[in-house]
Structure 1
Amino acid sequence: MRELRTDRGSAGPDPRRWPVLGILSLALFVIILNNGLLHVALPSLMRDLHAGIGLTQWIVDGYALVFAATLLTAGTLSDRYGRKRATLFGVALFGAGSLVALAADGAGQLIAARAVMGVAAAFVMPGTLSILVDVFPEEERPRAIAVWGSTSALGVAAGPVVGGALVQHFWWGSVFLVNLLPVAAVLVAGAVLLPESAAPVPRPADPLGAVLGSAGMVGLVYGAIHAADRGWTSATVLASFGAAGVAGALFVAWERRHPYPMVDFVLLRRPAFLGASVGNMLLFLGLAGTLFVLTQYLQFALGYGPLRAGLAVAPLALAVGLGSAAAPWLARRAGPRGGVAGGLAVTATGIWTLGTVPEGYPGVLSGLCLCGIGVGLALAPATDTVMGLVPPERSGNAAALNDTMQELGNALGVAVVGTVLAHGYSTAAGAAPLSERTGHLFEQAASDGFRVAAALVAAGAVLSGLLLPGPAPTVLSEPDPGKDVEDHRPPGADSARQRTA
């Protein structure tokens, strides 16, 4: 009979917490890396597999969409059977999926392998955050989450660099080689160092809810991707959006009646949660869509090779690190509202810059730096706000819900912004083959994509500015236990931990 620790209780901080953070960050880095690992390989992949932009959107989104669709179920199973077990299982499955993708010789096989990797990543990501919450004390948690968040954003930014280096010297499938060493390291070190924990009263699985929620996401992304070649008002696209709406409505109805819902609707009614999670989703929507367009723009419009294109994106990672370093300072002084809304506003400005500056790399560099700083500023306070609204025993499900919003943003970013790119490109270039289309035409289509991404991120800044609380008051007093006060307190406040979601 296994024994799972469910609460640290009065025990002191886990002495292994910083090495544990290193393991969790490495696991998170490799699964987030794969969101963008194929971006600079897309031109080579399009040539070898005779794929257009629409098919490459599915190759990229096959990972992010399945990732998002299975996160809530994976979070529930993680709380039930143990977060360490779920994380290590996911890492092992991720390695197996990488081996299949490495040997893929067709688009269908590659999409299937990426889907398996998405399922695996869904077991890894919520476990990394819930274990982090469990081992770090309240006062150290914001700094640990800042490291976790910067690792996530660094994975997004590093994907094109690593992929470009490999594609420059090998074939496009070699990008999956980079997964194998981190997978082995996490499996070995995690088996020794990661603590096991689970919810004291685990909830049963909800397969019907999982199917309905997944169907809604798939319909939404399918419609967005195929709008490029069939039009937003075509029967197929409208039917896809309609099916997504029906599945979403049935999901909500079912979850409201279910005794153990996958989604806590009490949490969804809290302004702080909506401001943080939707802001987080739009942040990653803008970032994923921008990188999908930018890595192709650098190669098709500016004539860069894969390695040079990847290196051209590298300053984004440094900028994310700078923003993450400043995030705790800004959140302490401006509260979650200032950190998240301010970071989103800076990100939107950077993406808009990419779409408006004259052709050439100096303008790209300035946009990337602004974008990265904004991502670093917004991500940690958004995540800390979400995790501060639930008790530790519900951390797995809350982490999964937060990660679902983030990965749904990734999938929608590639779908929506990629569709704007594909539509603008095909309209400008007519029926000419891809090889005959000029860089100038691609530049015009890319600018449209950047502007749409910037507008969506700016909408997130407005929403989070309206819904998130400001800085904590300087004079503290005992809260009235009859009032729901934690929505107006900063992340990490004790009262937010003492309530059940």
Structure 2
Amino acid sequence: MTTPADRERSGPGVPEAVHRRRWAILGVLMLSLLIVVLDNSILNVAIKTISTPAPTGLGATQSELEWAINAYTLVFAGLLFTAGLVGDRIGRKKVLLGGLVVFGVGSALAAESGSPGQLIAYRALMALGAAFVMPATLAVLMNVFERHEQPKAIGIWAGGVGLAIAIGPITGGLLLDHFWWGSVFLVNVPIVILALALMVWLVPDSRDPRPGRLDPIGVVLSVIGLVLLVYGIIKGGELADFTDAKVLATIAAGVVVLAAFVLFEKRSDHPSLDVSYFKNKVFSAAMTAIALVFFALMGVTFFGVFYTQSVRGYSPLESGLLMLPLAAAQMIFAPRARLLVDRFGNKATTTAGLVLLAGMLAAFAGFEADTPIWMLEVVFFLMGTGMAHIMTPTSVVIMQALPREKAGSASALSNTFRQVGGALGIAVLGSVLSTAYRNGIEDKLRMLPAGLRDTAGESIEATLGIAARLGPRGQALVTPAHDAFLHAMHVTALCGTAVALVGAVVVVLFLPGRAAAPHRDEEEQELVAAAE
């Protein structure tokens, strides 16, 4: 049981009334987190349906599907810096409520999209709302829990991601079995309404007593730089040629703008990204690990849907159910990962998680069209186990590295690196998948008219769609399409494995081991000295 004295030792600013309802507040924050994560996990199940020609879907190409995902992640990541500062400045509850409203409106519009272009635009609007929701949830958490309870609360918060991963594909599959594809976005609206009502009732407001000014130039530079960089990578995958002059110029321009962003932030007296945070090697290592993990994971899971649905023939609902072990492992282990951290330390726990994740990504390189499905389930469960033992310790390290009043900034940075890593993973590994598939299927497409060859080579869905339209003549393309995709999946999986192993090396070199627990009298002396 926590006493008032314990709360004083953990830091000021947690009123008794707020402390009593802290777990209910955590539940509301997880509901808000749920809809932000749920949207992406639902979309992963729906991408095959959306790629189907109208009226079933929108006839989106693989590039458009990647942009439907990346429009969300890029806007989200680009605005997180400002969202964290706005929350610290005007109050986290206010930005949570505003972000949820924008997210709900964007979801309703996305459900009625009439073209891939409209879907991409409305996904960007959803990201605008989500950018203000995600950092505020973790910032509020840090301000309603005492320091010694924060690791447990963050573990449960991270477990909420696993819950969303579980609910998303299943919900998406059920909706796609009974309704049109837009229902996967419309389902967000009632969840938003419930979260708004509970938030108004339960969640307290908090802010930084000494907030910084907003940084519009930094925001513009970060968004432009990220968009140019990822667009260049996606375009290289589309063309199957990363040496193309336009591709190289776009990527180079993105790198230059991002470098200008960093230089501007270093010289600004009110930066959206305080680069001094990264002088702390532990903080930087945790950030790098998160970025690399999501780079590997998002890039590899992008092909998972096509493997289960296009190659193995599972329905969207069945494909969603196959993801249950991954989600269940995160839900089980994320809240308990702190126990391993207490016993073995951050370095050992996170390294083990990364090595396990790398091993499971490598396992995909051995999957074929007839691999027993239980093996995929085991791999998914172990992937979730690895993720749980990466996310919880790194999140705790990041959030506790900065003062409580800077919780919005810390959360924004953590989520930015996660989203940017995921966006670049989809772009880079998606491009590897696209290029390898095109190279593998190219020779088999000579039987097609010249006008159809480029379209058929974009993705396995495009090839199978044209094969279906050709009737019996098209059956000759099915097996080569499966073989080309499996080879492309193997190459992509090994690239993801290498990235995860780089993350493990970073953690081994820079993350701390077991930390000695401070004595109570030392804590009290520090607080007395701070009060004098």
Normalised by the size of structure 1, how large is the TM-score? 0.91
Name the aligned partner's letter for residue 286 of structure 2: A
In 2, Cα distance between equivalents of 1:252 and 1:459: 23
Name the aligned partner's letter for residue 277 of structure 1: M
How far 1:398 moved relative to its partner? 1.1
Cα deviations by residue, 1:128-150 (Å, 9 ceiling, x for unpaired)? 00000000011111110001111
CA contact (8 A) 1:72 1:401 kept: yes
Match of 1:21 in 2: 26
Match of 1:138 in 2: 147
Percent identity over paired residues: 36
Cα deviations by residue, 1:49-94 (Å, 9 ceiling, x for unpaired)? 2322111111111111111111001111111110000011001110
Cα deviations by residue, 1:217-266 (Å, 9 ceiling, x for unpaired)? 11221122112122111112211211111111211111111111111222
Q: Which of 241, 244, 255 lines up with 2:265 in the alignment?
A: 255
Alignment of 1:473 onto 2:516: yes
Alignment RMSD: 2.2
Cα deviations by residue, 1:354-407 (Å, 9 ceiling, x for unpaired)? 222444212211211111100111101111100111111111111101110011
Between Structure 1 and Structure 2, the one with more helix by share is 2
Alignment of 1:429 onto 2:425: no
Match of 1:393 in 2: 405
Match of 1:75 in 2: 84
Alignment of 1:299 onto 2:342: no
Name the aligned partner's letter for residue 36 of structure 2: I
Cα deviations by residue, 1:315-374 (Å, 9 ceiling, x for unpaired)? 111111233143111111122212222212111111111222444212211211111100
Match of 2:243 in 1: 233
Cα deviations by residue, 1:432-482 (Å, 9 ceiling, x for unpaired)? 531134322222212222221222112111111211000013786999xxx
Matches within 5 A, 1:46-65: 46-48=51-53, 49-65=58-74
Q: Which runs of 4+ in 1 moved over 3 A?
A: 7-13, 473-479
In 2, Cα distance between equivalents of 1:393 and 1:495: 18
Match of 2:105 in 1: 96
In 2, Cα distance between equivalents of 1:376 and 1:365: 17
Match of 2:8 in 1: none
Name the aligned partner's letter for residue 285 of structure 1: F
Normalised by the size of structure 2, how large is the TM-score? 0.86
Q: Which of 85, 108, 121 lines up with 2:117 in the alignment?
A: 108
In 2, Cα distance between equivalents of 1:263 and 1:382: 19
In 2, Cα distance between equivalents of 1:258 and 1:160: 43
CA contact (8 A) 1:8 1:134 kept: no
CA contact (8 A) 1:93 1:120 kept: yes
Gaps of 5+ in 1: 1-6, 480-491
In 2, Cα distance between equivalents of 1:495 and 1:39: 49
Match of 2:211 in 1: 202
How far 1:178 moved relative to its partner? 2.1
In 1, Cα distance between equivalents of 2:484 and 2:163: 31
Name the aligned partner's letter for residue 241 of structure 1: I
Match of 1:9 in 2: 13
The aligned length equals: 479
Give the secondary structure class of the aligned counterpart of 2:512: coil
CA contact (8 A) 1:75 1:123 kept: yes
* Residue 192 to residue 226, structure 1, CA distance change in 2 (3 Å): same
Matches within 5 A, 1:52-451: 52-230=61-239, 231-358=241-368, 359-360=370-371, 361-430=373-442, 431=445, 433=456, 434-435=463-464, 436=467, 437=478, 438-451=481-494
How far 1:112 moved relative to its partner? 0.5
Name the aligned partner's letter for residue 214 of structure 2: A
In 2, Cα distance between equivalents of 1:102 and 1:9: 42
Gaps of 5+ in 2: 1-10, 446-452, 457-462, 468-477
After TM superposition, the structure 1 stretch with the greater mean CA deviation from structure 2, 288-297 or 100-109, is 288-297
In 2, Cα distance between equivalents of 1:215 and 1:495: 45
CA contact (8 A) 1:157 1:314 kept: yes
In 2, Cα distance between equivalents of 1:90 and 1:440: 44
Larger radius of gyration: 2
* Residue 222 to residue 333, structure 1, CA distance change in 2 (3 Å): same
How far 1:209 moved relative to its partner? 0.5
In 1, Cα distance between equivalents of 2:15 and 2:44: 46
Q: Which of 487, 495, 502 lines up with 1:452 in the alignment?
A: 495
Name the aligned partner's letter for residue 500 of structure 2: V
CA contact (8 A) 1:321 1:373 kept: no
In 2, Cα distance between equivalents of 1:452 and 1:155: 27
